[in-house]
Structure 1
Amino acid sequence: MAKAAHRAPAAGARVLGLALGTRLTLRAGATLVVDGDSRIVVDPGPFQSLAELAAALQPHGLTPADIDTVYFTHLHFDHYTPAAIPPGVRRVCIPAAERAFIDALTPLAADLDAYRARLLETHERIAPVFLREFVRLARDARYDFARLPYADRLVELGPDARPSAHTRTVALPGHCPGQLGLEVTTAHGTVLIAGDAVLSLADWQAPDVSHHLIVHERAALIASRERAGRADCVVPGHGDWFSPRSGRVLAADSDLIASTGVATA
């Protein structure tokens, strides 16, 4: 039986994997942070319903009703979906710079050629498969922020915000304009939920970022990856947790990362 995640240890929060991301299927990873009485789900994009979220939480002794905060590292479609946001959630946190970019882009949705052109103008690279999907979602209701059912609980964050006692937002731009990773202090080291600043261990070990299919600003992306390297454990957007120092794959549970290759704090 899985260990219940009702409460984090006094020395820090606990971080647990809810869904492992993959690159081949464009499935993003989803993560649970338990910090005292706060329970945060990060990037629930892989869940297409509350039932799917409930199934992922069940091994940890939780239900969607136990979640008080949903946190999105960025607003790309594979990470950001309203389908699995619990109706009773207290806060839905998004990066302020990401919303500002989308709010500026949305008026062009009436002319999809103009919308497509603006995306190409504002990014150094967008692979055709992603460009088509972004254009397809130009009028998607998830980006009509003022009309979302949780609009009154939408919280826009910048860098160095503290969603809970042992978490802090970290600016990780480059993949997109305003991505905010979530840095978590645990009893066994620092865990950085990196969104798509780091896609996977293989991505981390690559000599450059030329293989990235979405690049808003290359120099910023490289700087964000350097920032990710300070953590004891990186939770990438589309792959296994890993140690940026040793290059070893780690267990998707911060209580176990010390025994799988990370030096304890």
Structure 2
Amino acid sequence: MKPTYEILVQGNNLRLKHDFLGIANVTLIRGRDGLMLFDTGGYISRLGLLKALRDRGIAPADIKTVFLSHLHFDHAHNVDLFAHARFVVSEREWEYSAHPHPDDLLMPWGIREQLSKSKVEFLSGEGQLDHGIHFFPAPGHTPGCYGLELETEDRGRVIIAGDAIKYAKEAILKRCDMAFDEVDVGTRTIQRILDRADRIVPGHFPELIRQPDGNFIWEESAPFELLVR
């Protein structure tokens, strides 16, 4: 059985003039060992995430593993909904979260304490998380960012990049934007992903698909509905 995936919460790169909306992609992965989430999104996506699971007949308790690409608020809030699960995060990101970059204001207070209530598995280097699911370091946005590479049946090599590639701009310019590590480090990560992927799930953008000329395009839109109440 090869892994399958689908985006439960569709992220986007919209922001306010001085603030972040922080709507990140949350991806459900079905692997040999059970259901896995890649990131849990921010509070702004909390109800939508629960609805997306419910619409698929999945309860939070059915999620066995939560893979956290990094620990920023828009990717690692809502971890309390899956306190029963095994959390997987890089050892480097865990260390970084205790002493983030002075300009990094996106690390939620109490995230280490919240995660410590559950089983946390720390990663270093590269390896296999499940059959056909490979983890790898993707530093740049933060020093401890990680991504997943999936060998799928019908979509080729899919890289769920998190904020290693946040939006199409980084894939087009092949340069890291908003780095709390080093821009050059993030740029090398982007190039690695572009070289290897048939499809990319960015952190805050629709899925990117490789074309015959090697460039990536997106075919899906990212709706953003606002309701006035």
Aligned partner of 1:56 in structure 2 is 52
CA shift in 2, pair 1:250/1:32, >3 Å: farther
Aligned sequence identity (%)? 26
| 1:33 and 1:41 in contact (8 A); partners too | yes
Q: How many residues align?
A: 210
Distance in 2 separating the partners of 1:51 and 1:84 = 13
Q: 1:248 aligns with which of 208, 217, 221?
A: 217
Q: Read off the aligned partner of 2:193 and give its amino acid letter.
A: A
CA shift in 2, pair 1:203/1:156, >3 Å: same
Q: 2:193 aligns with which of 228, 232, 237?
A: 228
| 1:174 and 1:217 in contact (8 A); partners too | yes
When Rg is computed on C-alpha atoms for both structures, the one with the higher figure is 1
Aligned partner of 2:136 in structure 1 is 170
Distance in 1 separating the partners of 2:152 and 2:171 = 22
Alignment of 1:36-115 (within 5 A): 36-47=32-43, 52-89=48-85, 91-103=86-98, 105=99
Bigger helix share: 1
Aligned partner of 2:227 in structure 1 is none
Alignment of 1:177-192 (within 5 A): 177-188=143-154, 189-192=156-159
Bigger strand share: 2
CA shift in 2, pair 1:71/1:57, >3 Å: same
Distance in 2 separating the partners of 1:102 and 1:170 = 19
Distance in 2 separating the partners of 1:83 and 1:71 = 10
Report the CA distance between 1:49 and its aligned residue. Answer: 8.0
- Other structure's SS at 2:89 match: strand
Report the CA distance between 1:159 and its aligned residue. Answer: 2.8
| 1:48 and 1:83 in contact (8 A); partners too | no
Distance in 2 separating the partners of 1:187 and 1:83 = 30
Q: Read off the aligned partner of 1:69 and give its amino acid letter.
A: T
Distance in 1 separating the partners of 2:83 and 2:106 = 27
Structure 1 residue ranges without an equivalent (≥5): 1-9, 106-117, 121-125, 253-265
> Given the alignment of the two structures, is residue 214 of structure 1 paired with residue 204 of structure 2, yes or no?
no
> Given the alignment of the two structures, is residue 204 of structure 1 paired with residue 166 of structure 2, yes or no?
no
Q: 1:193 aligns with which of 155, 160, 167?
A: 160
Report the CA distance between 1:246 and its aligned residue. Answer: 3.9
Aligned partner of 1:23 in structure 2 is 13
Q: Read off the aligned partner of 1:171 and give its amino acid letter.
A: P
CA shift in 2, pair 1:133/1:246, >3 Å: closer
Distance in 2 separating the partners of 1:220 and 1:149 = 32
The C-alpha deviation readout for 1:89-125, integer Å capped at 9, x for no partner, is 2x1111111112233x2xxxxxxxxxxxx724xxxxx
Distance in 2 separating the partners of 1:50 and 1:206 = 32
CA shift in 2, pair 1:154/1:250, >3 Å: farther
**Normalising by the residue count of structure 1, what TM-score does the alignment of the two structures yield?**
0.71
- Other structure's SS at 1:178 match: coil
